[in-house]
């Protein structure tokens, strides 16, 4: 710890993002960057806290706490304060394959568990992490690391999202020949087509994929394994298979009028938007445009926010975001103690932009959709809703109860369903492999990420269910170790 009094001398500071109304005119990243002097001061705020919780990755009463990949946060905070950036990079790379992703899109559970955060604003861990890796790329410190020796073993990874890429990177390091299959036309999965460009520039994803290609990882796009690539061929050509296809079965809203035109799943909307942006800067028109429409996003979370930000850039006429839960408190509730992730009111980038354009936060809380309303042409024109309250039942759980005389009709020519996901798609590859599905609808795995089928493993949302990028990376690394142990009898992978 370089400066014992740093947390008392310096206040939390973050780089200033681009102004909301300015960034609505393009699809470039909105993140700001901090000067080195600010970053060193922020690193100095890291305390000598004795037992740091920021890197625990533990669960407390079912809620996540700290970094799932166990980043050595106090160590690289101290090194940044001292100006030892290359040493900070080495610490960061010990646990995180892709800090350029987590430093941009992770909600930072580490900061929610920062000891300083008990009484003061926490250390700016996420921002420091991102600046370490970006400085490393700028300085030329990140170069291809090609294994000195190959084992001759071949591993197929199905899906190129964060879990698949992390698993591929680790297995390649161990000397195995790794092939990553992706059914889309570009590598990256959720990182490429699930997260909009203004939040994660796709050049950042491509930069890492190109590096992994130079290191020996083979990428195969436009290939839906189980359909374009037979399962029997997969088993014949590879010594092990890792399923990293994600939780892509979206939660639907089967209410009256669901079959009306203009109602779309969030990922249908986001995927098409990014693909058209990358293919033609939207000139091909192959995307769902919210321009001049009244848009309603049903569901919160990161996906809902991304739908808000994307619709705003299209030039929507109005935007409302429905949340069925109550508005979170401004400070931790009594049943949400540190070091759990703080469930408090926040404005993410999308809500910030909508508020700047339309004058208020677009979210409406404790609202339930009852029916979609259409016109004579079969297109959606509105939603009928009712306000609810959450009532505690005899079993101690809470259930929604409608409030009388609160029905309302909201205008909408585009509705985006962002209510989460129900697990992986079962028909196709999973059925053909015959892997066991658990009670939550995910691929069942053992302690080494193995499935019920010999030589087949699973990682990320496919086995965990819908989660964060950082959890997917952690799961991919864990699966890589399990595969390496299966192939070699032991593993040196972390």
Q: Please give the class, per CATH, of domain 6-139.
A: mainly alpha
In this prediction, residue 1 carries a pLDDT of: 62
Three-class secondary structure assignment of 304-348 = HHHHHHHHHHHCCCEEEEECCCCCCCCCCCCCCCCCCCCCCCCCC
Cα diameter, the chain: 71
- The pLDDT value given to residue 43: 96
* Pairing status of strand 363-364 against strand 318-322: parallel
pLDDT of 396: 85
User: Are the beta carbons of 161 and 271 closer than 8 angstroms?
Assistant: no
Helices (runs of H) and strands (runs of E) counted in the chain: 17, 16
Distance, CA of 168 to CA of 212 (rounded, Å): 9
The H or E element that residue 60 is part of is: strand 58-60
Q: Which of 238, 189, 194 is nearest to 209 (CA)?
A: 189
Q: Look at residue 352 in the predicted model and tell me its pLDDT.
A: 98
List the one residue out of 310, 307, 347 whose CA is nearest residue 327. 347
* pLDDT value for 457: 98
- Which two tokens mark 432? 């053909």
SS3 122: coil
Count CB-CB contacts under 10 A for residue 256.
Answer: 13
Q: Which CATH number fits domain 263-417: 3.50.50.60, 3.40.50.300, 3.40.50.2300, 3.40.605.10?
A: 3.50.50.60
Tokens of 209: 């994929």
Distance between CA atoms of 143 and 192, rounded to whole angstroms?
A: 22
454 burial level (CB within 10 Å; 0-12, 13-18, 19+): exposed
Q: How far apart are CA 477 and CA 459, in angstroms?
A: 9
Among 324, 160, 301, residue whose Cα is nearest residue 244: 160
Structure tokens at 361: 């936060």
Q: Phi and psi at residue 229, in whole multiples of 5°?
A: -130, 105
Domains 6-139 and 154-248+422-488 share a fold: no
Q: How far apart are CA 223 and CA 164, in angstroms?
A: 15
Token pair of 331 as six digits:
């400070």
Domain boundary assignment for the chain: 6-139, 154-248+422-488, 263-417
| Annotation: CATH topology of 154-248+422-488 | FAD/NAD(P)-binding domain (3.50.50)
Mean pLDDT by 10 residues, the chain (494 residues): 87 96 97 94 92 88 88 96 97 98 96 95 97 98 97 98 98 98 98 98 98 98 96 96 97 98 98 98 98 97 97 98 97 92 95 98 98 98 98 91 98 98 93 96 97 98 96 98 98 94
Q: Please give the pLDDT value at position 63.
A: 79
């Amino acid at each position: 710890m370089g400066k014992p009094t740093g947390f008392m001398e310096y206040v939390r500071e973050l780089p200033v993002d681009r102004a909301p109304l300015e960034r609505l005119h393009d699809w470039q990243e909105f993140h700001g960057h901090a000067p080195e002097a600010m970053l060193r001061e922020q690193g100095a705020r890291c305390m000598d806290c004795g037992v740091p919780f920021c890197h625990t990755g533990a669960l407390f009463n079912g809620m996540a706490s700290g970094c799932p990949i166990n980043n050595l946060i106090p160590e690289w905070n101290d090194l940044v304060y001292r100006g030892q950036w290359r040493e900070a990079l080495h610490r960061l790379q010990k646990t995180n394959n892709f800090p350029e992703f987590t430093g941009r899109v992770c909600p930072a559970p580490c900061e929610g568990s920062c000891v300083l955060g008990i009484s003061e604003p926490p250390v700016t861990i996420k921002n420091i992490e991102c600046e370490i890796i970006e400085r490393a790329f700028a300085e030329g410190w990140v170069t291809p690391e090609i294994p000195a020796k190959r084992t001759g073993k071949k591993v197929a990874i199905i899906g190129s999202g964060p879990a698949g890429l992390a698993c591929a990177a680790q297995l390649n390091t161990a000397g195995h020949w790794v092939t990553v299959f992706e059914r889309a036309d570009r590598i990256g999965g959720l990182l490429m087509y699930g997260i909009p460009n203004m939040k994660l520039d796709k050049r950042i994803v491509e930069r890492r994929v190109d590096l992994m290609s130079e290191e020996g990882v083979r990428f195969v796009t436009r290939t839906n394994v189980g359909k374009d690539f037979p399962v029997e061929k997969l088993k014949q050509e590879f010594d092990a298979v890792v399923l990293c296809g994600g939780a892509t079965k979206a939660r639907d809203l089967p209410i009256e009028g669901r079959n009306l035109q203009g109602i779309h799943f969030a990922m249908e909307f986001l995927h098409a938007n990014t693909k058209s942006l990358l293919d033609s800067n939207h000139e091909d028109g192959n995307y769902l445009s919210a321009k001049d429409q009244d848009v309603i996003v049903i569901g919160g979370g990161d996906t809902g926010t991304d739908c808000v930000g994307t619709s705003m850039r299209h030039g929507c006429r109005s935007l409302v975001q429905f949340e069925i839960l109550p508005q979170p408190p401004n400070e931790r509730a009594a049943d949400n103690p540190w070091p759990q992730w703080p469930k408090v009111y926040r404005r993410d980038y999308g809500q910030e932009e909508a508020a700047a354009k339309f004058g208020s936060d677009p979210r409406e809380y404790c609202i339930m959709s009852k029916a979609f309303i259409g016109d004579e042409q079969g297109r959606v024109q509105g939603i009928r809703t009712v306000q609810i309250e959450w009532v505690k039942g005899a079993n101690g759980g809470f259930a929604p109860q409608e409030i009388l005389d609160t029905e309302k009709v909201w205008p909408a020519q585009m509705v985006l369903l962002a209510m989460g996901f129900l697990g992986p798609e079962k028909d196709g590859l999973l059925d053909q492999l015959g892997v066991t599905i658990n009670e939550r609808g995910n691929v069942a795995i053992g302690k080494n990420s193995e499935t019920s089928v010999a030589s087949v493993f699973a990682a990320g949302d496919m086995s965990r269910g819908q989660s964060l990028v950082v959890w997917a990376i952690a799961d991919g690394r864990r699966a890589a170790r399990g595969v390496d142990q299966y192939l070699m009898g032991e593993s040196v992978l972390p």
